[in-house]
């Protein structure tokens, strides 16, 4: 490779808190690749110009985070089928001037869940709490990778029902139903995997949980997408009664690893990426 540095980065608003630059630059260094990753705080009204800048500046690609994951889509030349179903893009690849959008969030989550817990998705009955963008990506990946029975619980029943209907249309042959948060009690006893996709329990409101402790049971694996704090209140509650738990750190690392592989065509150094992220999180 010549001496020219190949640029990648993150488009978001804000982006100052992100650990992605730390993680990706560590991965590039470990693999001895002449790539760099930088954060770019893009106001919503400038997202079209920013996407055009990927081409103009010869970037290999970028990650996309809140609030731009949907807004970037009209400016791309192509959107991957999975990203179309999810309705959001978190990774853009510049293929010789042609910008292609992907979504690695859901696949990153599932890869982390399977590798870190040994779970067999085909055997799980899933309760998902939340029906936002994160829930959509994770639900698509879970259903595509083997889950056949998914219940979505959300504060707004209409939003849960809309997501359930979208998923049934996009991925036929699965059983996807919607309930309100108040109905969790009547459903949770039959579930083996609880996936928490909301911001409840995130710093600074670390003592909150979307599911009362007395509804949890020891046959649940509790998976929370939050990774700050490293252990959320619902995970602590579950561990006290004998539940297994799974952290959101893995999803963050694996979604980044998939982006890294799209850009570089190299296998991502997962353990080195995990190490640098964990060391930063443990300092907080």
Tokens of 125: 């009955």
Q: Tell me how far apart the alpha carbons of residues 238 and 220 are, in angstroms, rounded to a whole number.
A: 8
User: C-alpha distances in angstroms, 76 versus 42, 49, 71?
Assistant: 17, 12, 10
Pair 152, 120: CB distance under 8 Å = no
Using the 8-state DSSP alphabet, how is residue 266 labeled?
Answer: S
Q: Give the tokens for residue 18.
A: 């992100």
Rounded Cα distance, 279 and 257, in Å: 18
């939003």: which residue's tokens?
159
Segments of 23-112 assigned E as strands: 35-41, 61-64, 78-79, 91-95, 98-102
- For the residues of 203-224, what is the DSSP string, one character each? TT-TT--SS-GGG--TTPEEEE
Is there a catalytic annotation at residue 159? no
Of the candidates 116, 103, 7, the residue with the CA atom closest to the CA atom of residue 62: 7
Q: Annotated catalytic residue: which of 4, 69, 145, 275?
A: 69
Strand partners for 149: 125, 175
Instruction: Provide the annotated active-site residues.
Output: 69
């Amino acid at each position: 490779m010549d001496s020219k540095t190949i640029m990648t980065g993150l488009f978001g608003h804000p982006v100052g808190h992100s650990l992605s630059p730390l993680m990706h630059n560590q991965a590039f260094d470990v693999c001895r690749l002449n790539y760099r990753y930088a954060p770019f705080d893009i106001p919503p009204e400038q997202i079209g110009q920013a996407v055009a800048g990927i081409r103009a500046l010869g970037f290999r690609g970028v990650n996309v985070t809140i609030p731009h994951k949907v807004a970037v889509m009209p400016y791309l030349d192509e959107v991957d089928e999975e990203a179309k179903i999810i309705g959001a893009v978190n990774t853009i690849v510049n293929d010789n001037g042609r910008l292609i959008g992907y979504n690695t969030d859901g696949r990153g989550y599932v890869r982390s869940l399977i590798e870190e817990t040994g779970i067999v998705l085909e055997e799980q009955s899933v309760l998902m709490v939340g029906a936002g963008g994160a829930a959509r990506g994770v639900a698509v990946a879970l259903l595509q990778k083997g889950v056949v029975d998914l219940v979505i619980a959300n504060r707004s029943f209409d939003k849960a029902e809309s997501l359930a209907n979208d998923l049934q249309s996009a991925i036929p042959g699965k059983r996807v139903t919607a309930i309100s948060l108040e109905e969790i009690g009547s459903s949770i006893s039959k579930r083996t995997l609880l996936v928490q996709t909301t911001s409840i329990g995130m710093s600074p409101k670390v003592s909150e949980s979307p599911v009362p402790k007395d509804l949890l049971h020891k046959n649940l694996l509790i998976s929370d997408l939050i990774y700050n704090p490293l252990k959320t209140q619902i995970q602590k509650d579950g561990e006290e009664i004998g539940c297994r738990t799974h952290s959101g750190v893995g999803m963050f690392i694996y979604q980044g690893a998939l982006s890294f592989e799209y850009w570089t065509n190299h296998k991502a150094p997962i353990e080195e990426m995990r190490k640098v992220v964990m060391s930063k999180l443990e300092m907080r």
